[in-house]
Structure 1
Amino acid sequence: MTLSRLNRYIRHRLAGREHRPPAWAEHDQMFLKAISIVQFFYIYTSVQFYRQASIFSNLQANEADRFSFLWPLAWMDRMPLDLAGDILASLCVIVGLASIFLWRFFLVRLAVAALFLQIAAFSNSAGGINHGYHEWLWITFVFLLLPNASRLSVNLPRATKIRFLYAFGVAPTLILFFYTLSGIYKVLDATLMLIIGELGGFHPWAMAYTLAKRSLETGTDPLWAGLIIDIPILGWPLYLALYYIEFFSILVAFRPELVRVWGLLLIAFHFGTYAFLDITFPQHVLINGILFVMSPFAPSKFHWRRFVLALPIFGWLARSLQATVRLRKH
């Protein structure tokens, strides 16, 4: 089997049996939607630079002991903190404005990625690890793959539009891969706990135990945690659903019928982390909204049958049931 045939075979299996053929006629619409999403991404990135500028400009020299700067910010240890803060604040203003109007150019996108790396490192230089900026940072680097263009319109050569779509498509695929990695870790840990007979993720009381433990450790009282703690069995289907959604997320990159619904499910998950754990990731909600709910790759019309047949495991069960029914009719 040649490498190209192997690649097609793997893509076919990942897409499931109900995959659609390439939608060549829809590429123009996909391209225009992708442009709008990327442009919004850089506009909102400029908003984050705008917010961060005031934080940097208010740093005082006597606050240096509060920070243990990570490697991207090692240069800040070699000058007064207030001067370093003013430099970063100035860069936020300059790069933020450039990102709105000139994001089509590689050097501007590179400046955005480099500056956002500074911001992400700063948010993790005060003694704790914050994950809020990680996905956004990765996307700024993924978008370096986008083709340069002084203008982006439907009149560009097809090759340029396809290249733009391929580069854009790396971003949602990478985010889905992150969720799958998280799901794999959770499933492996839960399986190990099940084997050794300890309370793990598959246990009916797992969610209640997790919520109670975190509330005690952090001294917080999340909005809906008490409901699950009082009635532990309510958390079981939620936990199992979360494992399913995260574990199989990567397949969504190859199954357009699932994209929008999966985006809503991932957004619901992050709303859940607030309601049950008092953990917020607003950037993740926005990313899932623009990359999945607004995805240019999702079908224009939603079909329940295609959606169900594209679902991992449940789609296979539905096809098996259909085959059984047809055999009995004959």
Structure 2
Amino acid sequence: MTRPQYEFDLEQRAAIAHRDKPLILQGATGTGKTVTLIEAAIDRVKNGANPDSILILAYGRERASEIRDAIVIASQGTVKEPVARTFHALAFSILSMSSGEAFRETVLISGAEQESFIATLLAGNIEDEVDWWPAELRSQANGSDHDSDLMGEPLLTQGFVRELRDLMMRATERGLSPKDLAEMGQRLQERYWPAAAKFWDSYLNISAASDSGAGDSKMRIDPAELINAAIAHLKRNPELLAELRQRFTTIMVDEFHESDPAQRRLLELLHCEDMVVVIDPESAIGRFRGADPDGVIAYCKSTFGDKATNITLLTNHRGDPARFAIELRSENEEAQYIA
């Protein structure tokens, strides 16, 4: 990402100069929110801030790399650690930090690996004839020969495995337990959630047993658990948390509307006075992976309260303003247009 060739407008200059208390920077697509965030970081470095004291969080490794390169090139500063990174990269680095605990190397399992493990456990459910799954998902209810090949089993379809993994990940990001999910399913009359909660509980128990008996010190973890594991690690190690708070005196978050509840809990744990969060709930495209744009305004109000300054960028810097007045036919079309 290159620095803009236009003059910063009044609101952008105010955001760049803002210091020492939370800033909520809002603006529609094309108003220069990310460019303003980059310039705010560069301005801090040019005015004496240590680049390593600035933590910028972005969504996606490519965006983080673009922000990092722009800041390093413009400020001509030397940094020991990446200035910009994703929430997951930050969580991974936190789990890699030494503490009073016995160190366990963190190994991040892929989505494909997790789906394969889930499918294996579901196959075991079928073989054991567990009765917690609704009848229409069990082969005996469909008149199938139980001893026949497992191909075609409702529980083992790729779509079901993927949906089950997604449900477990979204529940994890929101800090729910299997018991919470079961109770929520009963309350909301979600037919499959109580059964999924029982499976999830079994999944967690088997995963823990597998880790403890793996013969090495590695902690295998999926992406949804990564953020919560980092939060738990910091809470168990207050000295490490204090060290990070002392190190990062400025925290900036690009596209904060794409964050999920777990990421927001991690941010709240690392809070500092000089914070900048960039939000535009209307442009969020990450709901399918747990983003909660609808809750971002409420989160900012409850977390920052009256301490925060709100600045809204109004000027479109991408050319003809009329192109942003197009009324799109659906949310999906709008998401594709924004992307």
Q: Which has the higher helix share?
A: 1
For normalisation by structure 2, the TM-score amounts to 0.22
Highest RCO, 1 vs 2 (Cα 8 Å, sep ≥ 6): 2
For normalisation by structure 1, the TM-score amounts to 0.22
